Amino acid sequence: MLGLWPRMRPKSDEEHVERLRRSLASFDRWRRPLLALHLAAAVTYVAAVIAAVWALRGFASMMGANAPGVAPGFLIGLAAGASLGFLGVKIAHGLVDLALGLRNERLLVRYHDALREMEQEAREAEEAETI
């Protein structure tokens, strides 16, 4: 049910780490296609901004006859600019996320594996002493 209900029992460390392993594997599979998508979006974004500036320069030369439409046009332009700005922030955020590569999750999995390995070595040493 989309994970919206509160969990009745807390997850164990092993369950959490296994879920992280699956997430990391999925991220590694989709990293390159997502990076290509975000880079294409960034290039398209830059092209759209350049086209908007070019169009504004063209509109500035026609300002004399269209003076009454300046205020509504300005408000519409503000809304369009805010939309483009938010899109730019989203693209930049996606690129940074893809560049960093879930570092905290990878460190947590490595730490958990190191703890398991130390526990295993301690058990083996204890068994060797008892023999």
Phi-psi sector, 101: left (phi>0), alpha (psi -120 to 50), beta:
left
pLDDT band at residue 5 using 50, 70 and 90 as cut-offs: low
Query: Rounded to an integer, what distance in angstroms lies between the CA atom of residue 39 and that of residue 27?
Result: 17
Average pLDDT score over residue span 4-30: 84
Q: What type of residue is 3?
A: G
Question: Residue written as tokens 């693209």?
Answer: 91
Tens-place pLDDT, residues 30-77: 999 999 999 999 999 999 888 877 877 777 666 666 666 766 777 788
Alpha-carbon 49 to chain mean position: 22
Query: Rounded to an integer, what distance in angstroms lies between the CA atom of residue 127 and that of residue 131?
Result: 6
With b meaning 16 or more CB within 10 Å and e meaning fewer, what string describes 109-120? Answer: beebeeeeeeee
